[in-house]
């Protein structure tokens, strides 16, 4: 059966360059990078190379890159680290559409006496810098907002948000997991205090992430132990994974123009086919202010999970929302925050393309989606759908 993979926001195919970079450290070069002997030192040099590659993807110095186990760990490290470094401040500013690993940390801090202010988003998922600025206080310990939403792809003006925080002396953390490798990210001239990225979102291996930390950012470590990562993150590094991440970052930076020239037109072609073919279908999110690969579409009078299961039988892989929220019976917190109509919120699906997605796959997926929705509506006796 043909497989059409449109779930690249959940994870991506491992790039050949990443696999090639990883192999030596899974076989012959097994030394500990912290060892002083020559065998360990050559492994340590691989970390330096990867640090330069990830730094280049974000437009920052390699010295400011800290490798972690996952993007979730990196977000936890930043947010809890800022809270620990600013014990006298008990206020947090964030948004209601953040990834669960950010929302859960803010909720956890809320249970420990922090006041959490969520700056609302508009119906198209965008965020107002003025509303953000107004939420900041002198007692704000940190503020955090993502660069691009994992469910809708909507891009936040994170550099402007960071500048507003800098004006008030507030550390600004940005979850850049869904932005890096899809849109240009140049942090060196920005006021962003820290940013998280995850290797498997741009063709690297799972189980490795990185945190950019601006050189003057006050951040307490999450893990205590050895002196790895300049004392920022204790524990022997996953050298093979990091080497793969570096190679993937290098390839992603090289291929960045293709996101606009190849991926965006295919996404727009897919959306046009769906919106033109399925009565009552809507787009969730700003039409233009999105990363090039992401489309979140809502269908009335059907359950998104039912559509997903039929598509899976056709070999089309999509998702209801964040892979980290799979299994939840509650509607997406992102779509709730955007005020998506009740008629569509349970029938929304995320389609996320990759560099290897083809026009033929797009046409196949759009036809099968229309077929699945029509089948479910017929079963429900609702062929006549309100437009």
User: What residues are annotated to the active site?
Assistant: 324
Name the packing angle between helices 264-277 and 359-380 (round to 10°): 30
Strand order in the sheet with 65-68: 65-68, 209-213, 194-198, 172-175, 140-144, 91-94, 115-118
SS3 for 231? helix
Q: How many degrees, rounded to 5, is the angle at CA 317 between CA 316 and CA 321?
A: 135
Distance, in Å, from the CA atom of 377 to the CA atom of 371, rounded to the nearest integer, reads 10
Question: Could you tell me which of 159, 139, 155 has the C-alpha nearest to residue 147?
Answer: 155
Please answer whether residues 180 and 203 qualify as being in contact, where contact means their C-beta atoms are separated by less than 8 angstroms: no
107-130 burial code (b ≥16 CB/10 A, e <16): eebeeeebeebbbebeebbbbebe
């Amino acid at each position: 059966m043909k497989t059409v993979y449109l779930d690249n926001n959940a994870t991506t195919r491992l790039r050949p360059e990443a696999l090639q970079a990883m192999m030596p450290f899974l076989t012959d070069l097994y030394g500990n990078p912290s060892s002083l002997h020559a065998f360990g030192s050559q492994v340590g040099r691989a970390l330096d190379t990867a640090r330069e590659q990830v730094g280049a993807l974000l437009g920052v110095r390699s010295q400011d890159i800290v490798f972690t186990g996952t993007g979730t760990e990196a977000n936890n490290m930043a947010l809890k680290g800022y809270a620990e470094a600013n014990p006298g401040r008990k206020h947090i500013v964030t948004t209601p559409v953040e990834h669960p690993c950010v929302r859960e940390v803010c909720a956890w801090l809320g249970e420990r006496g922090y006041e959490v202010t969520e700056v609302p988003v508009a119906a198209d998922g965008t965020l107002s810098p003025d509303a953000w600025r107004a939420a900041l206080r002198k007692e704000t310990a940190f503020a955090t907002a993502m660069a691009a939403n994992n469910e809708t792809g909507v891009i936040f003006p994170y550099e402007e948000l960071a500048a507003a925080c800098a004006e008030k002396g507030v550390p600004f953390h940005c979850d850049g997991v869904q932005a890096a490798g899809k849109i240009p990210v140049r942090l060196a001239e920005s006021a962003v205090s820290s940013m998280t990225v995850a290797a498997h979102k741009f063709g690297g291996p799972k189980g490795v992430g990185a945190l950019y930390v601006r050189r003057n950012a006050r951040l307490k470590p999450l893990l205590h132990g050895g002196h790895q990562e300049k004392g920022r993150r204790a524990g022997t590094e996953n050298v093979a994974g990091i080497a793969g991440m570096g190679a993937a970052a290098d390839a992603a930076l090289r291929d960045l123009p293709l996101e606009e020239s190849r991926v965006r037109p295919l996404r727009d072609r897919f959306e046009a086919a769906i919106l033109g073919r399925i009565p009552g279908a809507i787009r969730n999110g700003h039409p233009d202010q999105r990363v090039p690969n992401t489309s979140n579409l809502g269908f009335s009078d059907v359950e998104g999970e039912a559509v997903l299961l039929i598509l899976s039988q056709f070999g089309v892989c999509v998702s209801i929302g964040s892979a980290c929220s799979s299994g939840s019976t509650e509607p997406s917190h992102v779509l709730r925050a955007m005020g998506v109509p009740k008629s569509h919120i349970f029938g929304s699906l995320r389609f996320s393309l990759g560099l290897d997605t083809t026009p033929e796959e797009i046409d196949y997926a759009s036809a099968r989606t229309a077929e699945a929705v029509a089948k479910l509506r017929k079963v429900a006796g609702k062929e006549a759908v309100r437009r």
